[in-house]
Amino acid sequence: MRGNSGATLEYRGEYIRKSTSDYLEQALWFNIARTLPTSSGIKIPHTYLPQEEGCYDIEFIQGTCATQSNSTLTISALIDQILLWKEQKQYYDLPWDSYTSRLYNQHVVIREDDKVMKMAFDFILGFPPLPPTFSHGDLTLENVIIDQNKNLVLIDPNFKPNLFQSYILDLGKLLQSTHSNYHQLFNSNPGVDLTPHCQILMDELDNLGVLEQCLMAEITHIMRLKKYQPTSNWELVDNLLLSLIKEMRGNHNNCLRI
């Protein structure tokens, strides 16, 4: 089976063999994450490096994707876990401007006339740097499996040596799943209506005083995903970015007045 990122997954009974270009980094993340505090109901699966290069083995978890669950308890549990990571240092020592530079060089300049991407980039530069912490890196609901014991099993981290990490970016990924509804919009793995999940998430982020930062992080994630869409979908991504920016500009209670 081939995943959305181009990785291949091979079922081998008690484990899955995953072949991917960043197999060492992903296996390292699992090893590190298992040594860190975990919230109740969160599970970090065991992984193994076989003799064969280019892949790693991950224990087989029978369950369903979190995008298919109506339970908003998923959001609360994931927030609790992310807040535990807030207290852990970033594994790779990278500054915030490494993230914005990567965003500009690898995504904004795809087309010289991409005015929406440039507008979005200028918009995020108006925000203070995000705090560097340990994080998953791609914590969308698509990368969470609910096992038969109702545990949330975290899979498919994005943990590269040249990629800045912050717990705010993980919270922004949850917004990507529930607020922008990116995965529903582009049909990568459509599931249940996540509106209740979004409301609980945004209320909690507001209570924590990080809603503004997380909405900004959500915008950067949508920007990064644009080049992986066919050009026929770029207008949809642009409209989503413009809608998010408009929402932030109009939200005087929670966001900056730009």
Q: Is residue 155 part of a domain?
A: yes
Give me the pLDDT at residue 6, please.
73
Q: What is the mean pLDDT of the segment spanning 157-175?
A: 97
Q: Is residue 257 part of a domain?
A: no
Prediction pTM value: 0.94
Paired tokens of 143: 């990368």
Contact assessment for residue 167 and residue 135, using Cβ atoms and an 8 Å cutoff = yes
Paired tokens of 176: 């990507």
Domain that holds residue 184: 8-247
Q: Is residue 186 part of a domain?
A: yes
Task: Report the CATH number at residue 185.
Answer: 3.90.1200
Give yes or no for residue 189 having a pLDDT over 70. Answer: no
pLDDT digits (tens, 9 = 90+) for 190-242: 689 999 999 999 999 999 999 999 999 999 999 999 999 999 999 999 999 99
Contact assessment for residue 183 and residue 193, using Cβ atoms and an 8 Å cutoff = no
Count of beta carbons in the 10 Å neighbourhood of residue 34 = 13
Q: Is residue 188 part of a domain?
A: yes
- Angle at which helices 167-178 and 195-208 pack, to 10 degrees? 150
Q: Is residue 1 part of a domain?
A: no
Q: What is the mean pLDDT of the segment spanning 147-166?
A: 97
- Percent helix, strand, coil in the chain, to 5, is 50, 10, 40
Q: Is residue 3 part of a domain?
A: no
Number of domains in the chain: 1
pLDDT digits (tens, 9 = 90+) for 42-65: 999 999 999 999 999 999 999 999
Give me the pLDDT at residue 257, please.
37
